[in-house]
Amino acid sequence: MPLVTTEQMLLDAQRGGYAVGAFNVENMEMIQAVVAAAEELHAPVMLQTTPSTVKYAGLACYYAIAKAAAEAASVPVAIHLDHGDSFELAMQALRAGYTSIMIDGSHVAYEENIEITKRVVDACAPSKISVEAELGKVGGKEDDLDGGAGGFTDPLEAKEFVERTKISSLAVAIGTAHGLYSGVPKLDLDRLSEIRKVVSIPLVLHGASGLSDEAVRESIKRGICKVNFATELRIAFSDGVKKVLSDAPDTFDPKKYNAVGRENVKQLVMNRMKVCGSEGKA
């Protein structure tokens, strides 16, 4: 089916008590793997590209591959700009055909975050494209994203932020981090519950790679409707490529090792979809 927008997808998840898996993709094989996993489990899914990924191959390239994969599938597939770091990039993604946009103003002051977020929301509204924003700061480092030590989302600020910006979904900072965890992360789940009490739109959990299944499920119970996975997909793909080249160093056909990386990603994504509870929800 054609690429879809994400507003209804996330509202359905909110009503159904599950979360949509949102998976960062870097190449054709990873897009194919994520969509194949969604098709096999009959689950809705979001493909995501970060600014550094966009720099690597361009918005048009990722959009075209995602569009082709979605049209060959029978499940809802969206293409989302993850951590859009400027109004200009958000508009470029909108014009390229992206069906969901994140503007991340968490690195600037609160009022400035509201200002840039509202500009993106207003620009996307005529096309009915949903906008995600972040309040607080998810810590850690991944690609060009550096959240440092992070900073927790304040529930009352979250309420005001949503009311003033009219965003469709809100990424919250409750103790997760981008990249790899050096220890066991401690999530402030009570904070998440407090945010849920005062914010009615779908909530998003970033930095889920490395979280326990139990932590993800509990977060969903407390209001998370979209869960982002990135680092562990890269590791799965790279491990597949490394294994082929280790077992058969003379392999020179990229199709040989990329196929193994693709299958690794597919199996991982299926596992994460089951944890999110989105299996059979398409």
Question: Which residues make Cβ contacts (< 8 Å) with residue 21, sequence separation at least 6?
Answer: 43, 45, 46, 227, 229, 269, 272, 273, 276, 278
Tell me the per-residue pLDDT of 129-180, one tens digit each, with 9 for 90 and over. Answer: 999 999 987 654 556 555 444 578 999 999 999 999 999 999 999 988 755 6
Q: What share of the chain is helix, strand, coil (3-state, %, to 5)?
A: 50, 20, 30
202 versus 151: the higher-pLDDT residue is 202
Give me the residues paired with residue 172 across strands.
135, 205
**Residue 180, pLDDT score:** 60
Identify the band that residue 186 occupies on the pLDDT scale cut at 50, 70 and 90: confident
**Residue 102, pLDDT score:** 98
**Residue 76, pLDDT score:** 98
Tell me the per-residue pLDDT of 49-87, one tens digit each, with 9 for 90 and over. Answer: 999 999 999 999 999 999 999 999 999 999 999 999 999
**Residue 184, pLDDT score:** 61
Token pair in block for residue 164: 């003033």
In this predicted structure, the answer to whether residue 202 has a pLDDT above a threshold of 60 is yes
In this predicted structure, the answer to whether residue 247 has a pLDDT above a threshold of 70 is yes
- Tell me the domains of the chain and their CATH numbers: 7-276 (3.20.20.70)
**Residue 140, pLDDT score:** 47
State yes or no: is 190 an active-site residue. no
Portion of the chain with pLDDT greater than 70, in percent: 93
List the catalytic residue out of 82, 85, 104, 143.
82
**Residue 142, pLDDT score:** 52
In this predicted structure, the answer to whether residue 92 has a pLDDT above a threshold of 50 is yes
- pTM exceeding the 0.85 threshold for the entire prediction: yes
**Residue 143, pLDDT score:** 61
User: What mean pLDDT value characterizes the chain?
Assistant: 93
Token pair in block for residue 1: 């089916």
In this prediction, residues 192-196 reach a mean pLDDT of: 97
44 versus 137: the higher-pLDDT residue is 44
